[in-house]
Structure 1
Amino acid sequence: MREIRHEPNAPTRVRSLRPGAVIDAHRHDDHQIAYAARGVLAITTDAGSWVAPANRALWIPAGTVHAHQAHGALQLHLVGLPATDNPLGLERPTALSVSPLLRELILACTGMPPDETPERQRLRAVLLDQLRASPQQPLHLPAPRTPRLAAVCEILYADPADSRTLPELGRAVGAGDRTLSRLFRAELGMSFPQWRTQLRLYHALFLLAEHTPVTTVAHRCGWSSASAFIDAFRRTFGHTPGAHVP
């Protein structure tokens, strides 16, 4: 059984993590906002994973067991909030849009001394106001529970560019495509094509954080062309993947 670290207080601080670095599973008694000013952050829980590029932040509710992983050189800004401060009433990890003002508030909070001063309290009050106005983003990749569905997902985790159809993948794991299609919707809340696209976009973010060229990312993630990848990326993230490549 894995050991889960308990940290009563969620820290407010900045951490620099090298590419591939992991913060092992732990939980806080406080809520926490995690924001990557540089690189891409992924958090994993038993319910699945969430990913955040620089225009998203991750809300991590109090008590949630989670692990962090850095993709690219990560500059991670963490803001701890008391369990009583939950402006959106969120009970599970959620990706939130980060406006320019919210970004500056997060950077200001993590750049201040840790003392609980009137200035910090005022800054936190404005930050909470901005969180209330932050749209939630569908950047969750749910985790499968049943073995047959998990086997299909593991194949695609290993190679997001695998273009086999659901019936073909089903034959590889000994499951019918109708059963698998039902399980995708029942367990993961989305169709097989939707889940595979989400997985490919996640993988694309990780590759872009490592400065992989856009055309190479498109090929390694299973898109038929760079233009098809760029269109899918823009629809989901609101900007082109070129913004992630220097």
Structure 2
Amino acid sequence: MTEVASHRVREDETAVRVVPLADDDYIAAGGHPPHVHDFHQFLYAPVGRIVVAAQGHEHELSASVALWIPAGVWHSARFDGDSLVVTESFDADRFALPHTGAATLNVTDAQRRLLLARMRATQAPQDDARVFAALRAGHPATLPLPQPTSPAAATVARELARTPSDARTAVQWAADLYTSSTSLRRAFRAETGMAFSEWRTRLRLNHSLELLAQGQLVGAVAARVGFVSANGYILAFRRYFGQTPGAFVRDATPDASRTAG
């Protein structure tokens, strides 16, 4: 849907020019130049691919990964030629995000249906508190996890989402689904941008965040999401989140018990 807002366009290192533009006019054929909003923006690509650069990081968006951009965060974007871009905006004075930087969100089926329904609506209400709450659902620190679309890979992804501790290898999954392991691995690489092993590690780590938030011990969390040892889980967690699970819990909840490990 078209939004009208004041976009501050950086002209050089010291000057900023405020230009009121409609988003549809501001989008060039290949994307957005660097700009900033005074509202929170939720950006989603149900078709195609968007790459958003913000705060020194690039975020690749797809049908299963969206992005929250808080008010005041400079960003730019590149679009594939066949991309469909869906945006939702929320008044920064009325709605509070739990983070100050751009943050990805793994889009659920319910969120996708909501976004598509609003895109089709002729007069979808703006700044809808119900929509904001629905789009904020999910742990803010989850790793981006694009979903594969081909039948075999999508089946594996669905089953692992239900049981992340499932220890079957790509070879074993392929045998169970009557396909080749090469085809399965190739599908994960082509459709998610990552190898099957990395995709599964990210899924397990994402699942572990909610368990940590519930106060479960690191050893128990590691076992529940499929890591062979607590040490292996801690090493993987540090690699992706930059700190140990215990430090992560303490940062999220300053009064958290030191039993988190």
Aligned twin of 1:203: 207
| SS at 2:189 equivalent | helix
Aligned twin of 2:75: 88
Displacement over 4 Å in runs of 4+? 6-10, 28-31, 43-47, 57-61, 64-68
Q: Which has the higher contact order (CA 8 A, sep 6+)?
A: 1
| SS at 1:242 equivalent | helix
Q: Does the 8 Å CA contact 1:32/1:59 hold for their aligned counterparts?
A: no
In 1: Cα distance, 2:192 partner to 2:212 partner: 26
Structure 1 vs Structure 2 CA RMSD:
4.3
1:189 aligns with 2:176: no
1:159 deviates by 0.9
Deviations 1:127-161 (A, max 9, x none): 8xx88xxxxx9931011111111011111111111
| SS at 1:140 equivalent | coil
In 2: Cα distance, 1:60 partner to 1:184 partner: 16
Deviations 1:212-245 (A, max 9, x none): 2211110011111111111110111111101316
| SS at 1:90 equivalent | strand
Deviations 1:161-218 (A, max 9, x none): 1111111111222221111011111111111111111111111112212222211110
Count of residues in correspondence between the two structures: 156
1:44 deviates by 8.7
* One-letter amino acid of the structure 1 residue matched with residue 167 of structure 2: S
Q: Does the 8 Å CA contact 1:46/1:143 hold for their aligned counterparts?
A: no
Aligned twin of 2:169: 165
TM-score, normalised to structure 2, is 0.48
Structure 2 alignment gaps of length 5 or more: 6-22, 25-36, 48-56, 80-90, 95-99, 103-140, 251-255, 257-261
1:79 deviates by 3.5
* One-letter amino acid of the structure 1 residue matched with residue 191 of structure 2: E
Which has the higher Rg, Structure 1 or Structure 2?
Answer: 2
Structure 1 alignment gaps of length 5 or more: 1-5, 11-27, 35-42, 48-56, 69-76, 93-108, 115-126, 132-136
TM-score, normalised to structure 1, is 0.50
In 2: Cα distance, 1:32 partner to 1:60 partner: 19
